[in-house]
Structure 1
Amino acid sequence: MAMPYRGTLIAIICSLSAGLMMSMLVYCFGLFANELRMEFGWSALEINFALSFGIINIFTAPLYGRISDKYGIKIVMIICYLVVGFGYLFRPMIDTLFEWYLFSAIVAAGLPIHTLAGGKLIPLWYPDSKGKVMGIVYTGDNIGGMIMPAITVFFIIFLSWQLAFFLFGIINFIFAFLAFLFITDSFEIIKKERSKHNLSQSLNSKIDQTTIGVDLREGFFSLRMWLVMISIGLGLITLTGIVTQLPQFLEERNINIAIINSSVFSLSLGGLLSKIFIGRLSDKISALNSMIISFILQAAGIYLLIISFSNYGLILCAFFFGFGMGAMGPLVNLLISEQFGMKNFGSFLSLAYILFTITSSFIPIYNGYIKDAYGTYDIGFYSIIFALILGMTILYLSKYLKKYDFEK
């Protein structure tokens, strides 16, 4: 039996690993809170403080990005999956808050691979349809969010929370093994695979994309690069500024729990469909123009959420917002490869990751302050709309700045 195209296997690995890694961190985190409170008597604040260790990626992301550019993505994927796996495997052994924070920091240290793996590999293996495939790959985030919480709840109820963390560790070790077996960004292997499976030999597929792109020095000292990066940082603030705050925002309006849950589900569904539709659209109209559309949809969706008081209207508005927000993940990867090429993709992506880490850490604190000071989330949400309009404007203006050498 003939082996499938290796790029297909790589896309599946990227999708599953990204989805399960994100769901373990975000969707499943709260499921352990009550278990830890009962076991150790820790407060919600003490438990949730573990999430703040994502700030460590300010240091790890540039390291991973540079290694992937110089030595290939395979070694970085293996290292990150092993790091995250060990972080989860050690969690069942915790007795103190210090150990909880230490192993949480270890888990956080490997998380940049969630974005870096697909961003680096998909444009190389699918040079002519990278937008469509990237969108499909990152639907794994949404699908993982539907599957892993149910599995986690089963383990916690019928086995133990310790075994649930042990399962998380084993899953990441499996991905490290799969990365060792199948992952490669070698141009020679990619070229042979495309020829073997009679795939189209376009101009993009005949050129080693990892040799084409902006030099780090040229990018660092260009206004265009900073405008693109700032716009990415502003565009991603809705992840922690809106998505994590939506239940509290609706509770403030005395919306019942069924409508709140339906709104969150609607948002997730919009995000899943967005990745497929807007990802595919980026192949037609460019990643930059697609991201501008994403900015517009997000801003409009937030405004509609603020002014809507109808139950079913809120569900529809949440879907509309999710449809704009969901595409941001794959679009960030596509925009960076489009604007700066693949030569130093990891380094440029790591800079975007740093800006995202900073903004995502600040926005929830800002929203909390606004809520405490003024008794409403509306002001904070309007501030995010302003940030999105600013980011969209900055990104649009970057189109008219000097082109880089590799684009000429």
Structure 2
Amino acid sequence: MSDLTPADSTASSTPVVRTSAADIELVHVSKRYGDALAVDSIDLRIPGGEYCCLLGPSGCGKTSTLRMIAGHESVSEGDVLIANRNVTREEPAARGTAMVFQSYALFPHLSALDNVAFSLKMRGVAKDARRKRAAELLDLVAMSAYAQRKPSQLSGGQQQRVALARALLNEPRCLLLDEPLSALDPFLRVQMRAELKRWQKELGITFVHVTHSQEEAMALADLVVVMSHGRIEQAGSPHEVFNRPRTEFVARFLGGHNVLEANGRAFTVRADHLRIAPHGTTPVQPAAREGGFSRIGGIPCTVREAEYQGTHLRMTLAPLDGSPELISLLPDSAYDASKLGPDARVVVWWDEHDAHALAA
């Protein structure tokens, strides 16, 4: 059995115990490490049963936030509530959560089966009973065939499945994942995120997943929480956050946006909404609204780079007036290398309804 085999091919007869999903709420939560403020008085509510991704660059506070939810880090200020119960001072085991660590943290000397069963062993559960329950969970994640293998005999994806099965052993109401896909190769990462999403829907519990990958967050999340310098820049659905970024940081971090300025206000235009044509073309633009974000006549530019990416060309454009570079994503079928290739003079514009104002 490959570690990419869908779990439902082996788990159809396995009983999946569904626990009630729990809301998670952070109220004015801060975390200090000495004089350093890692998380700065954040407020966040994650509805029960949703897949939430905490997204941001290294050092933005997302892992500290996850660890405070889990109880692995103390809260400097504020409160953590799970299922409307204040758990700020409670031990991790009392919170109804389980955590999958970035390293998977499997015991190297134990088989996959005994890794999953370990916590039941510590609680004095009889060997046959704990192995039976561990076997059910390995079946759920399509790892029954590898039950007797040690972690060193498993691929990264297989180790992740074992770590997930172990985390589910105590039937948590919230599953917390710290960059669980970062150690996997790109192909397996895509396969595993599809599995994670499916498991979350099947189990019906709340997932909170830390990642620095925009693509990963967009693919997985019901709720994306973008963080920077210990603060929440924006929280919303993937569609909302990508199409209507609240701040310049969100627009630039998510990528695929151009940040421009008109009438003293900053706005964004998605890279795939920029129009581009050879120099001398007169842009066809609708009448501009008062106070809108148009640029009559377009922006004269030089093509700096045209990078082929399969279905489209990613074009870097340098405005002749010296303003910041622009990015355009042009369908491969619309690209004409003789007129739009590197060093070509072009004109760039956009439809005003594709411009989105950023928060002041």
State the TM-score bracket (shorter-chain normalisation): under 0.3
Question: Structure 2 length as normaliser, TM-score?
Answer: 0.25
The structure whose Rg is larger is 2
Question: Structure 1 length as normaliser, TM-score?
Answer: 0.23
Q: Which has the higher strand share?
A: 2
- Comparing both chains, which one has the higher relative contact order based on Cα–Cα distances under 8 Å and sequence gaps of 6 or more? 1
